[in-house]
Structure 1
Amino acid sequence: MAFLFPLSTFLLPAGGEYGDVRASFDEAKLNAYLAKSVPAVKAPVTIKQFKSNPTYFLTDARTVSIQTAHQVEREYTMLAAIHNYNSRPTTAPEARVPVPQVFVLCEDKEVIGTPFYIMEFLEGRIFTDMSMPGVPLEVRRECWLSAVRALGALSSLDPKDVGLEILIKSLSKVSLAQAAVKDIDTGEPVGEITGWRELIGWYESNLPDERKTGVRIVHGDYKLDNLIFHPTENRVIGILDWELCTLGSPLADLGNLTQPWVFDLADVGTLMVGFKNNPGAEPISLEDLEREYCRVTRQPYPIVEIGFARSWMLFRLSVIMQGIAARRARGQASSEQAHLYASFFNVLGRLARGVLEDEGYLPKSRAKL
């Protein structure tokens, strides 16, 4: 989800435009709650809503955001724990994980009808296109290196050190349920992801040895457009959108961040940014990114398990796309591009297998994308 972005400071469009509040809730109750429970916010506040998601822009003497979406409790817990870790005098500057400060979590649905939390406003830049068109090459390179350094700091953080315990969901069960959903018009099931059974079997038999890094905090959707960069400096000042966070191998986030280097435009068309077989498009070499990650996390290069991580995150994305297909089959998908994403999950399944083929883990398939 996008958060708060002052458009006047952006080098690129950020997708963060906001306007009048669409959802109806009692603003008087909210202001009463803020006056009583949140000294960091001076009520009354003016309220605007972002056009693309259920995030609200609150303005008083200072600027903050109110987040009202699914998994807000999980996001708040994660952000609060990391911010407390950053604030310790014993935490070195390079070890800090850039996140916005959160002020309060309200689980009382009587206030505005849903749980919400309030967080700090971070003024900066969001790059919604991973290729960063129109941005000088050196700026692109520095931003991507900063993204890897911020991830390296997160990957180096021991969750036990910040008191975090998070449940892990099973993607395989989710995918099976989605595959069985039938189209309300045709009666045809959504169907399994191409190569689903083979991939699940391979993943279960080849899990990375987490003893090398220890179980770490996994953001779950670590990518360029979930990062806020300083308005003028090419460094990350905030990692957003923690609703998919969990515990596991930190390589999952590195695999997710570097997906554009796996995507070929011939396969993904306009739905994804692809640097593979696209001369001049990549902002930095994949090797440079992985070497920087290894430097920050103090592990040897090359990363043996990165093929697993990249394939797994592509498979995970295919399950998400399959979910869109299932919602569309039920007539519940509202996005204008839902039909495009709904037909894309099998392409991603084949790409997930292709990564394992390229790494030599599976034999080359004759099937074409």
Structure 2
Amino acid sequence: MRKKPSGTLLAKTAHQVEREFRILRALEDTDVPVPKVYILCEDPDVIGTAFYIMEFLDGRIITENHIPHVTPEHRLEMWRDAIRTLVKLHHVDYRHYGLGDFGKSSGFYDRQIKTFTKIAKAQAIVVDVATGEPVGDVPHMSAMLAFFKTGQPRDLSTLVHGDYKIDNLVFHKTEPRVIGILDWELATVGHPLSDFANLMGPFPVNGISKTFEFIPGAYPGLPTLEQCIEWYKSSGYNVSRDLAWGRSFYLFRGCVNMQGIAARYARRQASSANAKEFSANRMKHAEEVWRTMQHLQRQHQNATNANL
């Protein structure tokens, strides 16, 4: 069962189980691996909020991006199939499957910037119920937004998952292949770069990696960023020029999401056991993100100049 959390939601765009149900139902007739959905209940009198029931997929949900406890050969193929599966999603003719009104076909990043800016402002003024202190703004937000106004990728339109990453995939119990994609609450019609950049989150920027495993050559079987870009070319979109810009926006979105955890913790609505720790570390994290984004900005400018 998938349901909305209890209490008042800060963002209307979050936890939209109705949209999840709709896209999962539409994708059942495509080659995109998704769980079958059975029924949607929008009556809040039943359990207190909207929910839907879906099929149980008997496979592996792997929470670590470097996919431990498998052979290097399987690790490489699992990452390859994650990208192969993403290409399948981005190839879906969403209008043919009744999703023509699932999102606007242009201006995706402009809308995303506007939406996340609005969400960040709302979250910043949330007051902690115990201390009376506001959550506060995302550090360097004005500078981040100034960068996003320059060098945006050209408009493209596909179905996008919205949070495509390894731990939102279900892998076969023994084979290195994806049997299902979960957590569709942010799905829409949008720019395919957003999904690819999200999946590339663990990979180093300018040699700087959050985890040892993703330093090239450190963990047998993990692909390089360049391999992933090459695999994704089967989608018809070469993301090389746009990836630094897309990864910057991914990092910005992550800062806003971390601020959101802090806001939910301030209201004592956070479901995660680590919410307090996330809240305490959000400012330090944002400072690290800003330094990383500065590297990405230089990469983006270099890629842009190389294509002039």
State the TM-score, normalizing by the size of structure 2: 0.81
Counterpart-to-counterpart distance in 1, 2:36 and 2:89: 16
Counterpart-to-counterpart distance in 1, 2:43 and 2:124: 36
Gaps of 5+ in 1: 1-65, 87-95, 364-369
Local SS of the residue matching 2:202: helix
Higher relative contact order (CA 8 A, sep 6+): 2
Output one character per residue of 1:180-217: Cα deviation in whole Å (capped at 9) or x when no partner: 2233444433222121111112213332211xxx3111
Counterpart-to-counterpart distance in 2, 1:186 and 1:319: 22
Runs of 4+ in 1 over 6 A off after TM superposition: 263-267
- Deviation of the 1:76 alpha carbon: 0.4
Output one character per residue of 1:335-362: Cα deviation in whole Å (capped at 9) or x when no partner: 3311221134332464255245245168
Quote the residue 2:153 is aligned against.
208
Q: Which of 108, 111, 133 is the aligned partner of 2:68?
A: 133
User: Quick one: which amino acid aligns to residue 21 of structure 2?
Assistant: Y
**Quick check: 1:298 aligned with 2:236?**
yes
Counterpart-to-counterpart distance in 1, 2:241 and 2:205: 21
Q: Which of 176, 197, 200 is the aligned partner of 2:142?
A: 197
Q: Which of 33, 39, 43 is the aligned partner of 1:98?
A: 33
Counterpart-to-counterpart distance in 1, 2:242 and 2:28: 30
- The percentage of aligned residue pairs carrying the same residue is 41
Local SS of the residue matching 1:160: coil
- Give the alignment's Cα RMSD to 1 decimal: 2.7
Quote the residue 1:261 is aligned against.
203
Q: Which of 213, 219, 230 is the aligned partner of 1:281?
A: 219
- Residues 275, 281 of structure 1: 8 Å contact kept: yes
User: Quick one: which amino acid aligns to residue 314 of structure 1?
Assistant: L
- Deviation of the 1:332 alpha carbon: 3.5
- Cα gap change, 1:183/1:203 in structure 2, threshold over 3 Å: closer, same or farther? same
Structure having the higher helix fraction is 2
User: Quick one: which amino acid aligns to residue 189 of structure 1?
Assistant: P
Quote the residue 2:53 is aligned against.
118
Counterpart-to-counterpart distance in 1, 2:209 and 2:166: 21
User: Quick one: which amino acid aligns to residue 229 of structure 2?
Assistant: E
Q: Which of 16, 21, 28 is the aligned partner of 1:71?
A: 16
Local SS of the residue matching 2:179: strand
- Residues 224, 257 of structure 1: 8 Å contact kept: yes
Q: Which of 242, 250, 264 is the aligned partner of 1:327?
A: 264
State the TM-score, normalizing by the size of structure 1: 0.68
User: Quick one: which amino acid aligns to residue 285 of structure 1?
Assistant: T
- Cα gap change, 1:180/1:113 in structure 2, threshold over 3 Å: closer, same or farther? closer
- Cα gap change, 1:195/1:158 in structure 2, threshold over 3 Å: closer, same or farther? farther
Quote the residue 1:20 is aligned against.
none
**Quick check: 1:166 aligned with 2:102?**
yes
User: Quick one: which amino acid aligns to residue 287 of structure 1?
Assistant: E
Local SS of the residue matching 2:27: helix
Output one character per residue of 1:102-157: Cα deviation in whole Å (capped at 9) or x when no partner: 12222234444433222222211111111222221111100000000000111122
- Residues 124, 134 of structure 2: 8 Å contact kept: yes
Local SS of the residue matching 1:191: coil
- Residues 59, 172 of structure 2: 8 Å contact kept: yes
The number of residue pairs the alignment matches comes to 279
Quote the residue 1:360 is aligned against.
298
Q: Which has the larger radius of gyration?
A: 1
Local SS of the residue matching 2:298: coil
